[in-house]
Structure 1
């Protein structure tokens, strides 16, 4: 039972990383893959802290930082859509 949970979390983390490193055209997909990676790390930390009988205060700190990361990503997405009209990476030049 415990091995299935570890394997599920590892697969979640691996799939999130594979989506992140593969080439996508939209910023929203990249942000969703980052949130999926954060969710898998949260599950890993929760199971690990329960296993060693530690308090869950560290999970609250992790959730605060992950929410800040999500809000920053959404604000970048909104500003990019307002300035360029879409979230395609190929639609603007970095030079």
Structure 2
């Protein structure tokens, strides 16, 4: 059962590496990876009945998701799309 979680996590990492064209697809695959990391952390911590760290992990993952969406909204407002190739570092 644990192997399925690892395979799912690595499929999310693979999709994160492949989908580098749109920022929204990268954020979705990153949230997919965080979800499976949470499941793994929850399964590991359920053996010792210590669930406090899982709540801290959820808090940081929600903050990471909100930060990613705010960056996505600001990039769409300034550039009009979420393509990485349209952004210039020298801007």
TM-score range, shorter chain: over 0.9
Q: Compute the TM-score of the two structures, normalised by the length of structure 2.
A: 0.92
Task: Provide the alpha-carbon RMSD of the alignment.
Answer: 1.1
- What whole-Å deviation, never above 9, does each CA across 1:57-89 have from its counterpart, x for those lacking one? 111000000000000000000000000001011
Runs of 4+ in 1 over 6 A off after TM superposition: none
Structure 2 stretches of 5 or more lacking a match?
none
Q: Which whole-Å CA distance do the structure 2 matches of 1:87 and 1:45 have between them?
A: 32
Name the counterpart of 1:90. Answer: 85
Does the CA-based 8 Å contact 2:19-2:25 persist in structure 1? Answer: no
Tell me, which stretches of 5 or more residues in structure 1 are unaligned? Answer: none
TM-score by length of 1: 0.88
SS of the residue corresponding to residue 9 of structure 1 reads helix
Aligned residues: 90
Q: For residues 13 and 93 of structure 1, what CA distance do their matches in structure 2 show?
A: 31
In the alignment, structure 1 residue 48 sits paired with structure 2 residue 44:
yes
